[in-house]
Amino acid sequence: MTVDKVKLVIDSDGVSDDVRAISLALQHPKAEILAFTAVHGCVTVDQACANIKRTIRANEGAQNFSKIPVYKGAAKSILSLPKDDTVSTFFGDDGIGDKPDEFPKVEQSDVEGEGKHAALAMIDIFRENRDATLVTIGPLTNVAIALQLCEEFATYPSRMVIMGGNYYAVGNVDGGSSAEYNFHGDPEAASIVLRRMKCPITIVPWEAFYFESKVHNESVNFSAHLKYDTPLAGYLSLATSIGRIKCEQNGRQYSYCDEIAVATAIDEEKIATKSQYLYVDVELNGTKTRGQVVVDWTEQLWSNEEAPNTHTHRRVKFVTSYDVHTVDKWLHAATSGSGQF
């Protein structure tokens, strides 16, 4: 039976939830990865590039994933403001467990991307593949640069799936910010992308995880897929090890986040169980709100034909609930090697 493939370009900062999401995409029979692009974020862009390449090797098997190009992109946010820096040791210094000599061993060339900047690669790839989906699971700097370089890029992807942002101002940066981590990493880029991209956009916001995580923690064992005796399970166990320990110390599991966005890109109809369209913008100036998504909630009050048509913001689909059990099943299929997606 022939499976209709979903063409994906995945833009990532390459830390532990990213590499688990990337592995899901590589292993899923419905996904065809055209390229990976690395961006600054929780680690440097060099480290992100190295982590993506290492993850590709961890997934190698019958399929030759080594042919998938990895392009290195922006090292800093558009304004390069110190307050927007997102580099963190939460997942370890390298973002994936700090054991470079374990399988697959880090190679010196891992920090090297292909011969062009990620933004230029995006423009070229999507110009030639108008049916492809752009998935972003890090700050949106590379996409914003592509828009600045090529105005027509706004129409090139068939759709875009973003892990980032929020809609109830629930943040995850620190107690002094109401922004979500990826949008906080480059608020100007997030604003540019939401205002100027013309393709359909689906956002998997931080609250989709935040509000349902307690229920998911009671119904899903988020470490079970890491216990198979396979090279990939071992690698992902290593990559998530520091994050899992920190979560366990606070009485929680290290559940899925970026994995939900990638799964949504592969099969949104199956994964996104609830969603709503919102008119949104990004706050760029607030001391505590910089990077927060601002929602036009007054629009929700007007639902008849006489509603005022004064919107200046972009209308975007937000996933508010998702099928975590399907994502968990897919990750079991990926790490076990069963192929039972």
| Radius of gyration, alpha carbons of the chain | 19
Take residue 210 and report the two structure tokens written for it: 């935040």
pLDDT > 90? residue 286: yes
Take residue 242 and report the two structure tokens written for it: 């520091």
The pLDDT, as a whole number, for residue 140 is: 98
- Structural domains of the chain, ranges and CATH numbers in brackets: 6-336 (3.90.245.10)
Find the range with the poorest average confidence among 210-214, 245-249, 277-281: 210-214
The pLDDT, as a whole number, for residue 61 is: 78
Beta strand 293-295 pairing with 31-38 = unpaired
Mean pLDDT of 69-79: 98
Q: Is the pTM of this model over 0.85?
A: yes
For residue range 306-320, what is the model confidence (pLDDT) as tens digits? 555 556 678 899 999
**C-alpha pair distances (Å), 314 with each of 94, 135, 155, 199, 200:** 36, 18, 15, 11, 10
For residue range 138-176, what is the model confidence (pLDDT) as tens digits? 999 999 999 999 999 999 999 999 999 999 999 999 888
Maximum CA extent, the chain: 65
Q: What type of residue is 130?
A: R
Beta strand 6-12 pairing with 31-38 = parallel
The pLDDT, as a whole number, for residue 1 is: 53
Catalytic residue among 13, 84, 94, 258: 13
Take residue 17 and report the two structure tokens written for it: 């939830």
Is 13 catalytic? The answer is yes
The pLDDT, as a whole number, for residue 301 is: 73
